[in-house]
Structure 1
Amino acid sequence: MGAMTKLGQGGFSIGLELPLDNDWTSTGRQANAASVRVPGEPDLRQHAELAKLADRLGFRALWLRDVPLYDPSFGDAAQVFEVFTYLGYLAGITENILLGTAAVVLPLREPVLTLKAAASVDQLSGGRLLLGVASGDRPIEYPVFGRDFEQRGAAFREQVAMLRDWGETRLPSGIRLLPKPAAPLPLLVAGLAQQSPAWIGAQMDGWLAYPGTPDDHARRAAQWRAVAGEDKPYVSFIHLDLDDDPSVPLQRFRFGARTGRDGLIAELAAMRDAGVQHIGLQLRQNRRPLAETLQEIADHVLPVFHGAA
């Protein structure tokens, strides 16, 4: 079964966005301040155990952001580790969970090495890679890498073309790039990557949409399907603070909500009905221990949505 087929199996699935740390809570910020970590740098001491737990519990995907430099003005170091190195590590300690990028900033990277790294992760993971890509939105990064921020849209198109023909138009005659995927790698795009909606719909295999309400997603999913058709998945994320009282009603905050599991089930059902096919849960604002939260979601929420799988 291909990674995209597995992502959409059952019609709707639930994953997790790394890092798995609740460092954005008040307790987490206090622990951060008392440590040697910079603000926005998660505590990664339990990252491997929690990733393996997510795999065992049946979450569908782990998603990694690509943030190469720490910029204090953003205050977010993402999951810290270099994205392809970390994907390779996760491939070795997990068995079933899909491994997705949300998203690799293509214009900052050397194109041929990006192809080789992505193919290596895909092969080492047994075909579990979901390659989310983007053009990037942090101008400060581009001069560091010797790249032109204003030309990132053109660079993005060139690298997508290389991913599609596996560099054949770039490589000298008789030279091959190994490993080569058995099938084309699935490409999902974050935002529009400086492209037109029509180009994105034609060239990409799925869309990574920014967090929003079910009404937001209904509108965006309709826009996506107008340019991409019915078969390419619409994926998004939600910041979640899961209360230990299942009946606590949903209270929205920026990019997510605080709620009990009953409210979470209702919110996810509304997103599914709005056209979302996969949701990644981001738990950095979750006040409870993450292992406890993952177990509750696995026991009471995943069966509601993954039962058909």
Structure 2
Amino acid sequence: MYTSLDKLTHGGFSIGIELPLDNDWSPAGDGKRRLDGRRPGVPDLATHAELARLADTLGFRALWVRDVPLYDPSFGDAAQVFEAFSYLGYLAGITRDILLGTAAVVLPLREQLLTLKSAATVQELSGGRLLLGVASGDRPVEYPLFGRNFEARGANFREQIALLRDGARGHLPPGLELLPAVREPIPLLVAGLAQQTAQWLGTNVDGCLAYPGTPADHQRRAAAWRAVARDKPYVSFIHLDLATDPHEPLQRHRFGARAGRIALIEELAAMRNASVQHVGLHFRRNRRPLDETLAEIAMEVLPHFHSLAKPHAS
């Protein structure tokens, strides 16, 4: 069966987008945030649906959402605001081809059966487009608020992976089942180590969601991942500020870079050569309008990396 993971890596390398679709970390975006009265890290979602549809029609391979249950001013980041599974269900209804990923759901904060039901629902409603990124979480303040034990999150993570893997069939009394039924395993990609050994992750999940870094960083990290996971996909992200001048050289900043499209193509090629198989672009630092930026990348950058053969339907 051709899965969402197969589609993600079709052609050997692909490019997606990390939500929110806003540039509120740019100088102009921050100024607008202040005028709107939004707190730092809370994006403007006025055009999120329009931009998600645009990303789908332009041929980006995936949309990635984060799981940030509570806004914490000390972190200054509300992610894409909406609850991850609810939002993916909405995105499934307004898009057609683009994959829908979580980067990543904090499993130990969630009720296990309801997490599976939510994931199975998105998988069914999207026509098999879900990529379930999972993590153990790194914000201790959230755990007591959800009645969860921070120190036990590693064991909880393993339990949830087992339940997600068997569709709860080995976790329910006779006669009960969870609907919609999970006909094929939902691809699981891990962010970080999730309090596990690398060997355990290489055996029990289907891919790696790596933190942003340089091509040299990824060459080292991808090699470590391949040592325990063989050919399972390695995915990462870039915080991109796409310059108007296509010849502007790349200037690195935290988690990414400012660059013209020529330098961006070179950076993405270097990441592909470092064994990265998918890159999600994050635009909150981007100074240009996002519709203009997405259109330029689709026209001038995607053809260098996306196979001419269209990925199979999921």
Deviation for aligned residue 1:180? 1.4
Q: Percent identity?
A: 70
1:1-309 matches, cutoff 5 A: 1-230=2-231, 232-309=232-309
Deviation for aligned residue 1:308? 3.9
C-alpha distance in structure 2 between counterparts of 1:96 and 1:39, whole Å: 33
Deviation for aligned residue 1:169? 2.7
- The equivalent residue for 2:312 is none
Q: Letter of the 1:67 partner, please give it.
A: V
Give CA-to-partner distance per residue, 1:131-151, whole Å, 9 cap, x none. Answer: 000000001110110001111
Deviation for aligned residue 1:21? 0.1
C-alpha distance in structure 2 between counterparts of 1:138 and 1:43, whole Å: 24
1:15 match: secondary structure: strand
2:36 match: secondary structure: coil
1:164 match: secondary structure: helix
C-alpha distance in structure 1 between counterparts of 2:76 and 2:68, whole Å: 11
Deviation for aligned residue 1:27? 1.1
Deviation for aligned residue 1:65? 0.4
Deviation for aligned residue 1:182? 2.0
Contact 2:167–2:182 (Cα < 8 Å) also in 1: no
Compute the TM-score of the two structures, normalised by the length of structure 1: 0.99
1:112 match: secondary structure: helix
Question: Where has structure 1 moved over 2 Å in runs of 4 or more?
Answer: none
Give CA-to-partner distance per residue, 1:36-58, whole Å, 9 cap, x none. Answer: 32211000000000000000000
1:22 match: secondary structure: coil
C-alpha distance in structure 1 between counterparts of 2:163 and 2:155, whole Å: 13
Q: Letter of the 2:288 partner, please give it.
A: R
More deviation, 97-106/23-32: 23-32
Deviation for aligned residue 1:170? 2.1
Deviation for aligned residue 1:168? 2.1
Deviation for aligned residue 1:35? 1.7
C-alpha distance in structure 2 between counterparts of 1:180 and 1:38, whole Å: 41
Deviation for aligned residue 1:167? 1.2
In the alignment, structure 1 segments of 5+ residues that lack a partner are: none
Deviation for aligned residue 1:34? 1.7
Deviation for aligned residue 1:181? 2.1
Deviation for aligned residue 1:30? 1.3
Task: Report how many residues are paired.
Answer: 308
C-alpha distance in structure 2 between counterparts of 1:46 and 1:248, whole Å: 28
In the alignment, structure 2 segments of 5+ residues that lack a partner are: 310-314
C-alpha distance in structure 1 between counterparts of 2:181 and 2:235, whole Å: 26
2:175 match: secondary structure: coil
Compute the TM-score of the two structures, normalised by the length of structure 2: 0.97
Superposed CA RMSD in Å reads: 0.7
Deviation for aligned residue 1:79? 0.2
